[in-house]
Chain A
């Protein structure tokens, strides 16, 4: 009576096939990440030393360290964050909390999505035209970071807006019913509850900002500059460009050095990310729903 019919059997077989198929796909996705990380650690690991991390490049950049590039990347990322996070969060608050759902808001949303789709080299040329030449910032950290900020704004806006929208409407209604204004509600209830989502956006932005090469190439990054930036108006070296340079532009480069640079770049992104992940976990622990 409960013997499986032929149809049941076939469905079950099919089920198994799809399970294995999708499982394999997932494994295939993880594989490149593992291969990349293992290769970097194996080939680049031996290069990493205190001198490599904190020294100046020497001997045509084939020896010595990468400190100017390392510090340059930290500068670029932080200044880009300072520019894009307040702007992006403010825009997201407006779009999510204030703006009415009409054609104008939808057009803005569409523009943001399109901004996310603009290739980074186009942002680079825009940055060169706008910040370097028109605003006269010259090739500088500020010009490069502003270019990066514009490029990563959509990430911050979209992540923040989604975080804001994930806060239950009833929270806001409860607040309004107590007589709070819209701003009081946003600042005391909505934002604190959405902060973890905002940080997710920031994490994504940090990773992208640190790794981008094209937008900074014309706007602020130097091939070689054995000098630590003193202000945002200085030019700087950057790890991503340095990686490009040491792997393609310099003859007689020791084979492990580019791997070492790549490892440090990934390491920086991981450290910056884990700071905000730790902060996010701490804040999530306080969440009340």
Chain B
């Protein structure tokens, strides 16, 4: 009977030994990189490409949102925190109190595009119209309110697609379109990822949504944005980096103190042409003009 217990213990042990054989013995540096979901796909692409640059460095990428990354920087559990918003003064104080002096690195720009169904006849939308659609107490609830007739949209009622409220994208869109104090209207569809917004708008004629420029699909169209009576500006990598597109923001990486060693080499590589071409390839704007193959 004792044997029966032994068998089960042996099985666990065997399983562990099997998995333990999985790895080799190389001495590797692991860079912990965590934060913004907006930046996570670029961070992943950088990490993947960097394997070919320096095989001794492994970059572990984790998402979770800008807040998650910044909290991890404050707790000292990451080397690089990704954020699609600037750290708040309170967060900087917390980090300093914990012995981490945050250093900001602008690694690219993100343009938030306004997504519409391919059948939607709208060409341009103004920030004021967006506020009317998204804002608490806003007057625009039907496409006909702004003189549009969307084919396939029942009652012309606008389906307002937004993001979950801990997303950096949510906070940024609110800041630009609604101002710091106004809330989003009730009854928005709050999606948990940038891609979900694009996917839903693609399938729903009545819908309007906002998401990163990188999430454009073949079956959605992007509205040209009018800001305070100016000519409308198309969302694009070019208009985001030159600052003319109104809903564009810097993408940031924070380190604890001025980076040194492998972390510095990694950040330098991100800022190089090779790194900046990757962020451009992912649909974001590079920090400067780069020529990519």
List residues of chain A with CB under 8 Å of any chain B CB.
57-61, 71, 74-75, 78, 81-82, 85, 132-133, 138-139, 188-189, 191-192, 195, 199, 217-218, 221-230, 234-235, 245, 248-251, 275, 279, 283, 286
- The residue in chain B whose Cβ has the minimal distance to the Cβ of A235 is B60
B193 with A248: CB separation less than 8 A: yes
Interface residues of B in 181-222 (CB under 8 A from A): 192-196, 198, 214-215, 217
B8 with A225: CB separation less than 8 A: no
Q: Lowest 3 CB-CB distances: which A-B pairs, in order? A: A192-B1, A230-B23, A224-B61
Number of B interface residues, CB 8 Å?
Answer: 46
Interface centre among A191, A223, A234, by most B CB within 10 Å? A223
Interface residues of B in 1-40 (CB under 8 A from A): 1-2, 4-5, 7-8, 11-12, 15-16, 19, 22-25, 28, 30, 32, 37, 40
Q: How many A-B residue pairs have CB under 8 A?
A: 112
B68 contacts across to A, CB distance below 8 A: 218
B11 contacts across to A, CB distance below 8 A: 275, 279
B62 at interface (Cβ–Cβ under 8 A)?
yes
- The residue in chain A whose Cβ has the minimal distance to the Cβ of B215 is A251
A224 with B60: CB separation less than 8 A: yes
> A234 vs B19: C-alpha distance in the bound complex, in angstroms?
14
B214 with A251: CB separation less than 8 A: yes
Identify 5 residue pairs between A and B in the complex whose beta-carbon atoms are under 8 Å apart, listed by A's number: A225-B60, A227-B30, A249-B195, A279-B7, A279-B11
B19 contacts across to A, CB distance below 8 A: 71, 74-75, 78
A249 with B48: CB separation less than 8 A: no
- Within the complex, the shortest CB–CB distance from A120 to chain B, in Å, comes to 16
B141 at interface (Cβ–Cβ under 8 A)?
no
A217 contacts across to B, CB distance below 8 A: 62, 64
A245 with B23: CB separation less than 8 A: no
A58 contacts across to B, CB distance below 8 A: 48
A188 with B77: CB separation less than 8 A: no
B58 at interface (Cβ–Cβ under 8 A)?
yes
Main secondary structure of the interface of B (DSSP, over half): helix
> A113 vs B193: C-alpha distance in the bound complex, in angstroms?
34
> A244 vs B129: C-alpha distance in the bound complex, in angstroms?
34
- The residue in chain A whose Cβ has the minimal distance to the Cβ of B72 is A139
B265 at interface (Cβ–Cβ under 8 A)?
no
Contact flag A249-B4 (CB < 8 Å), given A222-B60, A227-B58, A279-B11: no
- Within the complex, the shortest CB–CB distance from A138 to chain B, in Å, comes to 6
- The residue in chain A whose Cβ has the minimal distance to the Cβ of B46 is A224
A227 with B28: CB separation less than 8 A: yes
B1 with A249: CB separation less than 8 A: no
A78 with B15: CB separation less than 8 A: yes
A57 contacts across to B, CB distance below 8 A: 48
- The residue in chain A whose Cβ has the minimal distance to the Cβ of B51 is A226
> A57 vs B15: C-alpha distance in the bound complex, in angstroms?
24
- Within the complex, the shortest CB–CB distance from A178 to chain B, in Å, comes to 15
B58 with A226: CB separation less than 8 A: yes
A199 with B22: CB separation less than 8 A: no
A248 contacts across to B, CB distance below 8 A: 192-193, 195-196
A235 with B4: CB separation less than 8 A: no
A245 contacts across to B, CB distance below 8 A: 63
B75 at interface (Cβ–Cβ under 8 A)?
yes
Contact of A60 among B7, B8, B44, B195 (CB under 8 A): B44
> A90 vs B109: C-alpha distance in the bound complex, in angstroms?
55
- Within the complex, the shortest CB–CB distance from B83 to chain A, in Å, comes to 15
- The residue in chain B whose Cβ has the minimal distance to the Cβ of A61 is B44
A78 with B16: CB separation less than 8 A: yes
- The residue in chain A whose Cβ has the minimal distance to the Cβ of B61 is A224
